[in-house]
Amino acid sequence: MRIFHTVSGLREVLKACRLKGLRIGFVPTMGNLHEGHLALVEQARSSCDIVVCSIFVNALQFGLNEDWDKYPRTYQVDCDKLRDSGCDYLFHPEDTEMYPNGLDTQSRVICPSMTDVLCGASRPGHFEGVTTVVTKLFNIVQPDEAIFGIKDYQQLAVIRRMVEDLCMPMQITAAPIHREADGLAMSSRNTYITADERPNVVVLKESLEWIAEQIKTGARNFTELETMAIQRIADAGFKTDYITVSNSKTLDPAAEDDLEITILGAIFTRAARLIDNLSINLD
């Protein structure tokens, strides 16, 4: 695996790959890699000739009082994992390489739909930071295919819409959620969960599954189901950010006759904010 810290260095080697007609797959990350990230690399490996990964903790997508300064940074361990997983090229830029003119004057990419609800409502400006840095990374790597995990369902939906709206010539591929043995969705922020909280956090996944079962058996009062799920989560000792039954494509509140539904949730532990989702097709 070759490691690049500059845009020009990575572009030079990838230009040679394109001239050879090689298909380039891309997996963007913020590091602190777990098995879920490595599964994305393996998926890219299966469909592409060259796999590029990035590690960049993007300050632009973190709000005030969020955890940018303490976000886990495990670069050397991450490099070892990527080598073992078959990554060909790693892009690990400094902040000044990605934002040479500073954050305050950085041009932004704004998606007006799906970004002010759910995680966007509780993290203002977050998706503007995501779409801006992902656009920059796409312009740097110019992949044929980029792979994102379904765990960040809203992020995946926003990026798909951005790629469609801006006519970006690439395929966006969704990868399944990777889970711990008890069902908790893998996340770099899981390390923030305290030992006494850990046995109970699976209540988020269980609550989404409970809603899905109610819908499959004919329940259509989605607001009532959301309220009952929030109470289940409170009984387990956690505060809910949101539990929402949504249209899978638009992320608008689901209508009674919607056939493709995604149930999304976010909860707070003492030091972590956990997200999860579950999609069902009623056709």
| 159 and 49 co-located in one domain | yes
| Summary mean pLDDT of the chain | 96
Task: Look at the chain and report how many structural domains it folds into.
Answer: 2
**What's the CA gap between 41 and 188, in Å, rounded?**
16
The pLDDT assigned to 283 comes to 85
For residues 147 and 198, membership in a common domain is answered with: no
Confidence at residue 70, expressed as pLDDT on a 0 to 100 scale: 81
Note whether 171 and 208 are same-domain residues: no
Q: For residues 43 and 103, state if they share a domain.
A: yes
Structure tokens at 125: 């400006």
At residue 67, the pLDDT reads 76
**pLDDT tens-digit map of 209-243:** 999 999 999 999 999 999 999 999 999 999 999 99
Q: How confident is the model at residue 68 (pLDDT cuts 50, 70, 90)?
A: confident
Does 133 share its domain with 10? yes
By annotation, the residues acting in catalysis are 37
| Residues sharing a CB contact under 8 Å with residue 64, sequence separation 6 or more, in sequence order | none
Mean pLDDT of 196-206: 97
- Is residue 270 very low, low, confident or very high in pLDDT (cuts 50, 70, 90)? very high
Give 137: exposed, middle or buried? Use CB within 10 Å, 0-12, 13-18, 19+. buried
Q: Which among 110, 145, 175 is the end of a domain?
A: 175
Task: Give the pLDDT score at 81.
Answer: 97
Q: Does residue 183 fall inside a structural domain? A: no
What pTM was computed for the model? 0.94
Q: 40: which residues sit within 8 A by CB, 6+ positions away?
A: 27, 29, 147, 148, 149, 175
- Does any domain span residue 242? yes
Contact 151, 177 (CB under 8 A): yes
- Closest to 57 (Cα-Cα) out of 89, 79, 29: 29
What are the DSSP E strand ranges found in 124-250?
Answer: 145-149, 171-175, 239-247
Residues 127, 43, single domain; the answer is yes
Q: Which of 6-10, 52-56, 65-69, 250-254 has the lowest mean pLDDT?
A: 65-69
Query: CA–CA separation, 218 vs 212, rounded Å?
Result: 10
> Is position 181 within any domain?
no
What is the residue whose two structure tokens read 């539904």? Answer: 261
Residues 223 and 128 in one domain: no
Residues 160 and 199 both lie in one domain:
no
Please say which residue of 122, 150, 175 terminates a domain.
175
In this structure, the answer to whether residues 195 and 72 fall within a common structural domain is no
Same-domain pairing of 26 and 65:
yes
Output the domain CATH number for residue 239: 3.30.1300.10
- What percentage of residues in the chain have a pLDDT greater than 90? 94
Q: Are residues 156 and 17 in the same domain?
A: yes
Range of the domain at 192: 188-281
Cα 133 from chain centroid? 13
- Asked whether residue 161 is domain-assigned, the answer is yes
Q: What is the mean pLDDT of residues 113-127?
A: 93
- For residue 28, the model assigns a pLDDT of 98
Could you say which DSSP state residue 89 is in?
E
Q: Are 12 and 145 part of one and the same domain?
A: yes
What is the C-alpha to C-alpha distance for residues 130 and 50, in angstroms, rounded to an integer?
24
6 domain-assigned: yes
